[in-house]
Structure 1
Amino acid sequence: MTLAIARRARRLITLLCLAAASTAHADIVIGQVAPFTGPQAVTGKAIRAGAKLWIDDVNARGGVKGQKIKLVTRDDAQKPEETVRLVRELIASDAPTALIGTVGTSNLEALKQDGVLEKTRVSMVGAVSGANSVITARNMYPVKASYREEVDRLFKQLGEMGRTKVAVVYQDDGLGRDALAGAQASAKTYGLTLVAQSGYARNTTEVGKAVADMIKQSPDVIFLAATTAAAIEFTDKYQTAGGHAALYGMSIIDVQALLAKLGADRARGFAFSLVLPTDDRADRELVRDYQRLRGNAKDPDLSSRSLEGFIAARALVKALERTAAPGPVGLTETLDRGFETDVGGHRLTFGKGPTSRYVDFAVLGAGGKLVR
């Protein structure tokens, strides 16, 4: 009897050890709910490609503490109600340690309103928005400066240049309205006059009215609080209509896509703000790593926008390495405590408020060359 009990005990211990070993080496699931179809598919795909580029490299080097990272994705077509539904579904079915790279202020605001991230203690690193509503939300961590900071720096520069007649074309949603509010406040601060403001519907490129409004008002500068497809459409139609104002775009615009669509001659002079290092900054470790890995990759979705996903993945891996207790709760506690890191030339501070305050400017010069 004693021998049989001892054998059963040894068998039980063996099973427990095998189970523990299996758990220890289970994948770390990271979820991404983003637009892979629809008007903002180019952004969702670029963010995914950048995140995957770093995740694949980490996995090739053994993963995080011996665990491989598994990226699980869902397509929300940038519809806020789908974002909420799919995030809930992904959390229930795949038990992710974290989320990454959801695109769009309205989508992130819908998640905030729903409360699913707070309830499940799952954090999102690299939320793709700089809106104040997202910057201040629990469990959401962009890896770039806020829209308000971006707009304020731009309007300060315009004031110093003496470009006082400014107009705003904005996407009529949380993103555009946040940027418009920042523009209105900064215009007063720096003595600029907003001569016109014109919105267009979210998830469209219906900018005909905005073009007509800008031609009528003849501003010195047009600030585009717009996403990539709409910004390209506006620039094309505005130039065709004979518009000559200087165009300033937000950092959310994929400048490579604009250049490819319009060509170097028509894109020349398009200025834009930068809230992340650009992919030509070889003086930064993260950019050198990005270019090295991109050179060996065959992903057609990799673009200049992919650096945001790449940086988010690097930051997330750093946080996972710093987290003692595995799982979403442990990671969230690490981030909430005010986790600070340098991801290779881009410093981030997680916790309350913006994770980054880096803002710079560039313009497309002759031959599509980037000029700072």
Structure 2
Amino acid sequence: MKKNLALLVLSCALSIGTTQAQVVIGQCAPLTGSLAKTGEAMAQGVRIAVEAANAAGGINGQKIKLVQKDDGYDTAKTVSCTQELVDKEKAVALIGYAGTGNIAELLKRNVLGSAGIPLVAPYTGGAALREPFNPWIFHIRAGYDDETRTMVDQFVSTGVKRIAVFYQNDAFGQSGLAGVEKALAPHDIKLVSRGSYEKNTEDVGKAVDDILKGNPQAVIMIAITRPAALFVKQMIERSPGLQVFAISVVSGEDIYRIAGESAARGVGITQVMPSPFSGTQKVVREYQDALKTHAPGQPPSYASFEEYIGARVLISALKRAGGAATRASLIKALESTTADISGFKVAFGPQQRAGSKFVDVTMIGAGGKHLR
């Protein structure tokens, strides 16, 4: 009896030791709902980076425990999901959230501040998450202002001045809309028309009608993939030859699949990451290898690649934070980051949370491929 009790105590002790020899990071992502396909790719990118790190021995003698939850792109669920990760799971960091409005609500309720927890690599470039400065969110992507300025400058340089905006009617879309208007101001140009749709819906017909009233030469889309694709399909049917650009949160392959080749070909998309399809950069080759090993059969995508890089940035900071990283020590490690993630550079500072300004421009070509 005593021997069995001793074995039981030893077993419990080993179990506690195993649990303690983990560092927990958490992710709330839209795994269901209107952004599900993007959310699944985001979750996959984080997971393969974590699994690759654990397969290589973990960090500072610890394995990473990744807890991923579904918020359905719903703001209230984002808040409750985050509270669970902070309070129940005792996560030391959060990673890879989606939705400007969703994350803004975390700031409004001081969820991140009261927990003193960093959020790394949110899948949004919304200005409201960057200005005014907050110390909790570490961005690895350029902002929507950077993307919309790139689009506007390209249009104006080719003589296109009659520009409209199609946007999601929430904090995300309004941030992008404001970015377009800010980029137009130095050129003394105003929008000729605008049209919107409601979050978590796909009713874009009125937006098409509203935008066509302005007789635009080009439309900038601040929208997620499915509404953007349906908008492109309807708009090009009614206005062939119209130039359409989208910001980086859309999937070109899915726009092609939903809108069809005749409508989708030629749609421009700004990108905040290098191409995940080309193996010319070391980080891309490492990402593709991680996909083959930890998600065999899954194709590369911009969304999963972005969150793979985000997880690599977080893992690098965890290593520098020491063997028993706390939320506070991790924030110090993150804000002292000047990292070269196998060719992709990210730099933060005590008053600097925008780690990258990289913006590229691609175009949807035959078969939905991204052309540069």
| Same fold? TM cut 0.5 | yes
Match of 2:105 among 91, 101, 110: 110
Question: Cα 1:204–1:161, aligned 2, differ >3 Å: closer, same or farther?
Answer: same
Q: Residue 326 of structure 2 aligns to which amino acid in structure 1?
A: G
Q: 2:5 matched to which residue of 1?
A: none
| Structure 2: gaps spanning 5 or more residues | 1-9
Q: 1:188 matched to which residue of 2?
A: 185
- The worse-fitting range, judged by mean Cα deviation, of 141-150 and 253-262 is 253-262
Match of 1:177 among 174, 178, 182: 174
Deviation (angstroms), 1:307: 0.8
TM alignment of 1:1-372, pairs within 5 A: 22=17, 26-135=21-130, 136-296=133-293, 297-298=295-296, 300=298, 303-324=301-322, 325-336=324-335, 338-351=336-349, 352-372=352-372
Local SS of the residue matching 2:356: coil
Q: Residue 341 of structure 2 aligns to which amino acid in structure 1?
A: V
8 Å contact kept, 1:265–1:367 = no
| Runs ≥4 residues deviating over 4 A | 18-21, 299-302
Q: 2:4 matched to which residue of 1?
A: none
Question: Hey, what's the Cα distance between the residues in 1 that align with 2:297 and 2:279?
Answer: 21
Identity %: 32
Deviation (angstroms), 1:25: 6.0
Question: Hey, what's the Cα distance between the residues in 1 that align with 2:231 and 2:199?
Answer: 14
Question: Hey, what's the Cα distance between the residues in 2 that align with 1:371 and 1:73?
Answer: 33
Q: Residue 348 of structure 1 aligns to which amino acid in structure 2?
A: V
Q: Residue 61 of structure 1 aligns to which amino acid in structure 2?
A: A
8 Å contact kept, 1:347–1:356 = yes
Question: Hey, what's the Cα distance between the residues in 2 that align with 1:252 and 1:55?
Answer: 23
Question: Hey, what's the Cα distance between the residues in 2 that align with 1:299 and 1:328?
Answer: 35
Whichever of the two has the greater Rg, that structure is 1
8 Å contact kept, 1:268–1:364 = yes
Deviation (angstroms), 1:367: 4.2
The TM-score with structure 2 as length reference comes to 0.90
Q: Residue 126 of structure 2 aligns to which amino acid in structure 1?
A: A
Question: Hey, what's the Cα distance between the residues in 1 that align with 2:189 and 2:309?
Answer: 35
1:278-297 CA-partner distances (Å, limit 9, x unpaired): 11232211111111222332
Question: Hey, what's the Cα distance between the residues in 1 that align with 2:30 and 2:365?
Answer: 31
RMSD over aligned Cα, in angstroms? 2.3
Local SS of the residue matching 1:163: coil
- The worse-fitting range, judged by mean Cα deviation, of 116-125 and 325-334 is 325-334
Question: Cα 1:334–1:23, aligned 2, differ >3 Å: closer, same or farther?
Answer: farther
How many residues in Structure 1 have an aligned counterpart in Structure 2? 357
Deviation (angstroms), 1:60: 0.9
Question: Cα 1:157–1:239, aligned 2, differ >3 Å: closer, same or farther?
Answer: closer
1:102-155 CA-partner distances (Å, limit 9, x unpaired): 110000000011112111111111111111121233211121001111111211
Question: Hey, what's the Cα distance between the residues in 1 that align with 2:235 and 2:263?
Answer: 11
Question: Hey, what's the Cα distance between the residues in 2 that align with 1:199 and 1:191?
Answer: 24
Local SS of the residue matching 1:357: coil
The TM-score with structure 1 as length reference comes to 0.90
Deviation (angstroms), 1:334: 1.5
Deviation (angstroms), 1:162: 0.9
Deviation (angstroms), 1:20: 12
